[in-house]
């Protein structure tokens, strides 16, 4: 049976392409248009700061699908194409070329954009940012030609690039305004472990301080810290976070709240328009509040949920949050969400590089982080979702199987 409906997805990142996949998997036979601003087909950003940056063969898959996939699935993949506005009254997406594309349902998977560091010298050649594949290509060339780089920003991207650069044989200075790497996400005790990891690999740490200027002639040569210290630099990577891309949503009258505000079905306040991925601040049933996460798993899982709701298949986005990072020979998986006020206990000693951290609030598990221990995120997610009160002594006892703590049915 033919279907005359047209579903348009703005954003060909992971959330957008997974939504397109789900539309076809659910049997939608109408038009699917996937708009991407980059000139290359959809790819996974996760390896950009790691395997792809280090030019490691194998071990990671960059492109989401082979070239022929989109034609085989009758997905109109429009690359190097930017949406200029959304005409809600006529239900059309207006491209920069002035072309108009009709939609019956619209998904905004516009992602996020880099926060720029605005200090004197910030426009000097040699000051890099990392968001797209071309950014990684340029950064790789710079690292390969450098003896010393400075990484500004000690969050996930900054720490991953610092680790990759050290693995590529380059001296690295890591600068961050927090007292410890990734401290905002991980808390003091677990962040201290990562400080020791980087220091153990020879990273020159400058934490608790910001940058006041970059200096150089034809290219950056020095980074001036707020405390007056000057760091030599052949190249600089600035990784100070991202912000959601909401321009299209704002101009269309869509409600914003630290991104695009959605309900638990990823629907916005404008009928027929949904949001997913980095840009979506979605109502989470378990938390009872909205949560916007800039992580791979959110894009991977929200795209299909949005697609099903676009089709009228009522689906709630209720997955327990999850993210991960790999740095040197240390890999970590974090499940849940621990805001202020949670207490942390450990199974194993974090200093050894093999442990599980558990965050509890009022006796209930809200998050868990396993470092170099496999096979536990699903169990941690189930314990969080159960909402049961747990005995901290059982959580920290390595002789207790975590799965045994799950409620019996």
Taking phi over 0 as left and psi of -120 to 50 as alpha, with beta for the rest, 90 belongs to: alpha
Joined tokens for residue 378: 């699903």
Beta partners for 89?
none
Are 43 and 133 contacting, i.e. CB atoms less than 8 angstroms apart?
yes
CA distance 103 to 116: 34
Q: How far is CA 7 from CA 66, 113, 236, in A?
A: 22, 25, 41
Ranges under pLDDT 70 in the chain: 1-2, 58-60, 340-341, 409
Closest by alpha carbon to 36, among 76, 89, 93, 77? 77
Phi, psi for 175 (deg, rounded to 5) = -115, 135
398 CB burial (10 A radius; 0-12, 13-18, 19+): exposed
> What pLDDT is attached to residue 58?
67
Are 369 and 357 contacting, i.e. CB atoms less than 8 angstroms apart?
yes
CA distance 209 to 227: 7
Beta partners for 98?
none
CA distance 137 to 70: 25
> What pLDDT is attached to residue 1?
54
Number of DSSP helices (H) and strands (E) in the chain, helices first? 10, 26
pTM of the complete model: 0.92
CA distance 246 to 257: 10
Are 167 and 198 contacting, i.e. CB atoms less than 8 angstroms apart?
no
CA distance 20 to 32: 7
């Amino acid at each position: 049976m033919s279907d005359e409906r047209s579903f348009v997805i703005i954003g060909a990142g992971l959330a957008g392409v997974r939504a397109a996949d789900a539309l076809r998997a659910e049997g939608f036979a109408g038009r699917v248009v996937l708009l991407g601003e980059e000139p290359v087909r959809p790819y996974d950003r996760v390896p950009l700061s790691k395997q792809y940056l280090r030019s490691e063969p194998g071990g990671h898959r960059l492109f989401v699908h082979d070239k022929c996939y989109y034609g085989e699935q009758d997905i109109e993949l429009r690359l190097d194409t930017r949406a200029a506005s959304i005409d809600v009254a006529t239900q059309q997406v207006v491209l920069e070329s002035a072309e108009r594309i009709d939609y019956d349902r619209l998904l905004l998977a516009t992602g996020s954009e880099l926060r720029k560091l605005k200090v004197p010298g910030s426009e000097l050649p040699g000051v890099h940012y990392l968001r797209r594949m071309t950014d990684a290509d340029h950064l790789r060339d710079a690292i390969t030609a450098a003896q010393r780089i400075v990484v500004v920003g000690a969050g996930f991207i900054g720490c991953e690039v610092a680790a990759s650069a050290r693995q590529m044989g380059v001296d690295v200075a890591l600068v961050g305004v927090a007292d410890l790497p990734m401290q905002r996400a991980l808390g003091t005790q677990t962040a201290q472990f990562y400080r020791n990891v980087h220091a153990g690999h020879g990273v020159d740490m400058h934490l608790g301080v910001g940058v006041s200027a970059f200096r150089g002639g034809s290219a950056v040569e020095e980074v001036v810290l707020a405390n007056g210290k000057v760091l030599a630099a052949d190249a600089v990577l600035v990784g100070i976070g991202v912000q959601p891309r909401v321009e299209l949503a704002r101009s269309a009258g869509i409600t914003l709240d630290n991104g695009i505000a959605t309900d638990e079905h990823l629907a916005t306040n404008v009928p027929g328009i949904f949001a997913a991925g980095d840009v979506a601040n979605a109502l989470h049933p378990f938390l009872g509040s909205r949560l916007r996460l800039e992580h791979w798993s959110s894009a991977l899982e929200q795209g299909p949920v949005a697609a099903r709701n676009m089709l009228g298949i009522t689906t709630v986005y209720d997955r327990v949050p999850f993210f991960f990072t790999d740095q040197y020979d240390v890999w970590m998986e974090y499940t849940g969400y621990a805001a202020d006020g949670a207490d942390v206990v450990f199974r194993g000693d974090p200093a050894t590089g093999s442990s599980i951290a558990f965050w509890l609030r009022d006796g209930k598990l809200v998050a868990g982080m396993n470092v170099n221990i496999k096979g536990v995120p699903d169990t941690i997610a189930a314990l969080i979702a159960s909402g049961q009160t747990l005995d901290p002594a059982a959580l920290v006892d390595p002789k207790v199987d975590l799965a045994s703590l799950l409620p019996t049915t």
